[in-house]
Structure formats: structure tokens, C-alpha cells
């Protein structure tokens, strides 16, 4: 039996082989880990679906794999294939899937290389082989991020006609844009503005400028991006390209929070928790989000409805050295200052070790990016799609401040709010920041547990 890459965490479609834990010829037990795969979110183990002997290993460390791609083959018991069985085998066994495949192929555009399946009357366009074998030909979706699929769906484009430029035929936003440009160019040259006649336009990315040879001016080193860095890059590009960002700046007096922290620091330390300023900021943020629920919402892809969430799950951006990971504190509005401090510390440690699981990364409603421990002042954070706002926090510094008729030296915290201007107006963002600043300056939602 073949052991293949299982369905990965939400939003992850590829994984990189980190470790192969068995050798060809070795015997393995059911559920014994056979390999470790790294996605953009975490590193996870792949268990053997059954006991048997390793016949052949098809991958090596560093390979990037897609869902359904073979890792190794086992001889012996068939095991429980319902967990990680081949998607191709499952498709063949499901009449419902076959009906859907036939339906999706029936409307495929005809071209010179297409051939007809006389039994069903469908048209099948041959495609370049991919790591998934013939999966695209039987109706499985082309490898592409959810954001790319949504954009293609909104534009009425069949991704099966777009040739991906990344490994395994993965389709990027750039590939999709190039394809649309080719459709428009072809329609213009033929005098026909109906770009739905896709069969007349060649698929694939448009010709690109030759790469720059930087070595002409000196020594260079090429360093491959990690899977996490590539995913962060893709998501940031998608968010920036599709969300109209506006950023609001402010500074907040930390006098009250510093006083409360000093009073409670020793008590928290006895319980094994380091009390930082962040839990106080989170308590103030929770109350502010309750006051302005639109900041705790998401805009549906069609832009017709706003989803207001009656729970507050705060994503906390963590710097791992390889890129940002955003674990989520669930139901933050129901947790005490101590609970927030404890969970924040645990999640940050797990994120840096790449040990967070999919459940701890999903479901965020609002994100906080705190650079205070590193330094810097105001910055413009990019919204974590599909959220509509993100709070950036810089390093607090002592500054002269006018208090009444006197000038005093206070610790001032730079804060920034980036928001989706399709959903939030500038006036509402200003009110949000004023209210948040007031809550922080009063010490947050709870002064003491």
C-alpha cells in the first residue's frame, strides 16, 4: 500500500519533508511515525496507517510535497486507508465524485489537443504531468491557494486552464493575472471582447524579463526561502493587493499599567508566570472590541455581507526567526489577566519551537503585532486576512507630556491601527483608538484578578 500526504491544516496545500524516520527494508508498526512534514504553520509527524515493511521511499529531505503525493510504500496489511488513502482511489470508489467530475468536464473548452470521451460526450484537455499524477484530469482542483481560487471564481476563470509556474504546477496570483492579460490581449487582437473563448488563447504565464545577474557586480549567495517565509510572503501580498489599508497612529500613557504591573508582578511570578505589559493591553483591547464590534468582523468574499463575531479570539504575531506565526488566544473576553498572561507565554514558546497545532492557529478575529520587545516606534502592520483590522505596538519610551498645567516625564507607548477601509471609516477608527487609549490609560479592563 502507498502512504501519501494527508489533508493538511486549513490553508496549507503543500508541505516540506523535514525528516524521514524509517529506511527501506525496515519494519514499522501501525501508527509509528514515518516522516515529519513542515507546513507554513507547524511541523507534524505522519504515522504509518498499518504495520508492514517499507518497500520503497519516494521522497527525500527538502522535497516539497502536495496532498495525495506518495511518501513511501508498505508491504503487509492494508490497514485503515480511510485516514490517509490515496485521493485517486477514493474518487474511483465514489459514484458521486465521478458524477461531479463528468459535470465539471462537460463544459471544458475545446482546443486542438483535446479529445472526446465518446462514452460520456465530455471533453478532456491533456495537461502537463504533476506530482499528483492524473488527479487534475479527474476533477481534483488545480494546486492553488484559497485566495487564488476565490479570485478565479469571482472572475469566472477555470483554473484548469491556467498553467502554474511554481513547483508541482502550483498557481500563483501572478499566474492568474498573466492569464487574464493574455485573454484580454487575444480578445483585442481578434476583435472579439468575449474572453470566455479561452480555447483561442494559450494558457500559462506571460513571458517574463530575464533574471538579473547580480554576480556581475560582486559575490552573491542564494538562500532558499523556508516554507513559512514563502507562505507569509504570499499571504502578505494577497492581503495588501486585495484590502485597502489605512493606518491610524497614536501614543498612550502607560503610567497606570506600570503601577498595576509592579503591584502584581511578584504574585504572578510565584505562580510561574512572567507578567508583561501585553496582557494589560489585551484586556483593554477586549473591552474596546466589545464597544466597536465591526473591528471584530470579516467581510464575505462577495462583499455583500459583514460577519460580526460574538466571540473574541486574539491572534498574537510571534517572531520565530523564520517568519511570523500567529497563534490565537480563544475567548479572550472570558479570561482573567492571569489566564491571558499564562496562555500568551505558553503559545509564544510553542510558536517559536514550531510546536503549535492547527487548532491553536485558526479562528482569530483580531490580531496584535507587538514589536516592543525588539524596539522601534510606529509601524504599519498588514491586516491578517480575512480580519478587518490589526493593532501594532512599538517600544514604550519616556517623553515629556503636558499634564494639566505641568510638564511631566511619562512612559509613552506608540500604537497603530491598520484597518480595511471597505468596512471601516476613518472616523470610526479614530473613535476606536481614542477609546482604546482611554482603557489602557486606566489600566485595562481588570486591575486585579
Alpha carbons 386 and 396: distance in angstroms, whole number: 29
pLDDT score, position 39: 74
pLDDT score, position 158: 77
Cβ–Cβ contacts within 10 Å for residue 100, how many?
A: 13
pLDDT score, position 89: 42
Alpha carbons 59 and 88: distance in angstroms, whole number: 19
Which of 115, 245, 378, 421 is catalytic? The answer is 421
pLDDT score, position 153: 72
The residue written with cell numbers 489533508 in the block is: 7
Q: Which domains, ranges and CATH numbers included, belong to the chain?
A: 2-85 (2.40.50.100), 141-205+226-242 (4.10.320.10), 245-441 (3.30.559.10)
Asked if residues 206 and 182 have their Cβ atoms less than 8 Å apart, the reply is yes
What is the pTM (predicted TM-score) of this model? 0.60
Listing DSSP states for 379-410 in one string gives --PPP-TTBSEEEEE---EEEEEEETTEEEEE
Peptide bond preceding 386: is omega within 30 degrees of 0, i.e. cis? yes
Cβ–Cβ contacts within 10 Å for residue 293, how many?
A: 14
Write 206-214 long-range contacts (CB < 8 A, 24+): 206/178, 206/181, 206/182
pLDDT score, position 208: 59
Q: Has 421 been annotated as catalytic?
A: yes
- Local confidence pLDDT in tens for the 449 residues of the chain: 888 888 776 556 778 888 888 998 899 988 888 888 877 666 777 888 888 999 999 998 888 888 888 899 998 754 434 333 333 444 344 344 334 433 433 443 433 333 333 333 333 333 333 333 333 433 445 677 766 777 777 677 877 778 887 766 778 877 887 887 777 666 555 554 444 444 444 445 545 567 888 998 999 998 888 777 887 888 888 888 889 999 999 999 999 999 999 999 999 999 999 999 999 999 999 999 999 999 999 999 888 999 999 999 999 999 887 778 899 999 999 999 999 999 999 999 988 888 888 889 899 999 999 988 887 789 999 999 999 999 999 999 999 988 888 898 999 999 999 999 999 999 999 999 999 999 999 875 443 43
pLDDT score, position 189: 57
Asked if residues 363 and 383 have their Cβ atoms less than 8 Å apart, the reply is no
Cβ–Cβ contacts within 10 Å for residue 137, how many?
A: 16
pLDDT score, position 112: 39
pLDDT score, position 332: 96
Amino acid at each position: 500500500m502507498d502512504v501519501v500526504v494527508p489533508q493538511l491544516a486549513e490553508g496549507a496545500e503543500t508541505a516540506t519533508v523535514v525528516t524521514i524516520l524509517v529506511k527501506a527494508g525496515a519494519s514499522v508498526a501501525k501508527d509509528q511515525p514515518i516522516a515529519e512534514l513542515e507546513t507554513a504553520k507547524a511541523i507534524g509527524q505522519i504515522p504509518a496507517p498499518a504495520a508492514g515493511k517499507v518497500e520503497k521511499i519516494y521522497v527525500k529531505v527538502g522535497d516539497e510535497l502536495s496532498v495525495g503525493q506518495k511518501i513511501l510504500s508498505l508491504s503487509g496489511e492494508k490497514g485503515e486507508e480511510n485516514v490517509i488513502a490515496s485521493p485517486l482511489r477514493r474518487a474511483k470508489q465514489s459514484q458521486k465524485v465521478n458524477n461531479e467530475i463528468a459535470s465539471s468536464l462537460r463544459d471544458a473548452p475545446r482546443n486542438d489537443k483535446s479529445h472526446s470521451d465518446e462514452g460520456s460526450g465530455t471533453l478532456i484537455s491533456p495537461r502537463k504531468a504533476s506530482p499528483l499524477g492524473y488527479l487534475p484530469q479527474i476533477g481534483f482542483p488545480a494546486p492553488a491557494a484559497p485566495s487564488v481560487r476565490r479570485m478565479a471564481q469571482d472572475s469566472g476563470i477555470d483554473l484548469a486552464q491556467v498553467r502554474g509556474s511554481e513547483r508541482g504546477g502550483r498557481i500563483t496570483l501572478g499566474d492568474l493575472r498573466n492569464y487574464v492579460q493574455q485573454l484580454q490581449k487575444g480578445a483585442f487582437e481578434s476583435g472579439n471582447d468575449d474572453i470566455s473563448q479561452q480555447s483561442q488563447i494559450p494558457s500559462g504565464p506571460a513571458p517574463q524579463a530575464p533574471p538579473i545577474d547580480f554576480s556581475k557586480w560582486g559575490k552573491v549567495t542564494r538562500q532558499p526561502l523556508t516554507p513559512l517565509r514563502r507562505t507569509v510572503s504570499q499571504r502578505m501580498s494577497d492581503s495588501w493587493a486585495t484590502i485597502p489599508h489605512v493606518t491610524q497612529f497614536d501614543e498612550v500613557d502607560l503610567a497606570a499599567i506600570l503601577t498595576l504591573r509592579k503591584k502584581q508582578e511578584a504574585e504572578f511570578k510565584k505562580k510561574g508566570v512572567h507578567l508583561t505589559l501585553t496582557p494589560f493591553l489585551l484586556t483593554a483591547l477586549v473591552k474596546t472590541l466589545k464597544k466597536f464590534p465591526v473591528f471584530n468582523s470579516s467581510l464575505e468574499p462577495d462583499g455583500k455581507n459583514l460577519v460580526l463575531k460574538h466571540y473574541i479570539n486574539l491572534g498574537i504575531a510571534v517572531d520565530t526567526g523564520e517568519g511570523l506565526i500567529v497563534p490565537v488566544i480563544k475567548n479572550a473576553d472570558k479570561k482573567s489577566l492571569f489566564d491571558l498572561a499564562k496562555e500568551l507565554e505558553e503559545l509564544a514558546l510553542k510558536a517559536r519551537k514550531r510546536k503549535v497545532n492547527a487548532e491553536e492557529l485558526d479562528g482569530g478575529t483580531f490580531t496584535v503585532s507587538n514589536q516592543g520587545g525588539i524596539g522601534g516606534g510606529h509601524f504599519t502592520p498588514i491586516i491578517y486576512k480575512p480580519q478587518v483590522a490589526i493593532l501594532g505596538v512599538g517600544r514604550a519610551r519616556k517623553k515629556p507630556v503636558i499634564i494639566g498645567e505641568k510638564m511631566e516625564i511619562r512612559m509613552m507607548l506608540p500604537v497603530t491601527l491598520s484597518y480595511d477601509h471597505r468596512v471601516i471609516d476613518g472616523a470610526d477608527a479614530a473613535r476606536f483608538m481614542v477609546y482604546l487609549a482611554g482603557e489602557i490609560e486606566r489600566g485595562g479592563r481588570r486591575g486585579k484578578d
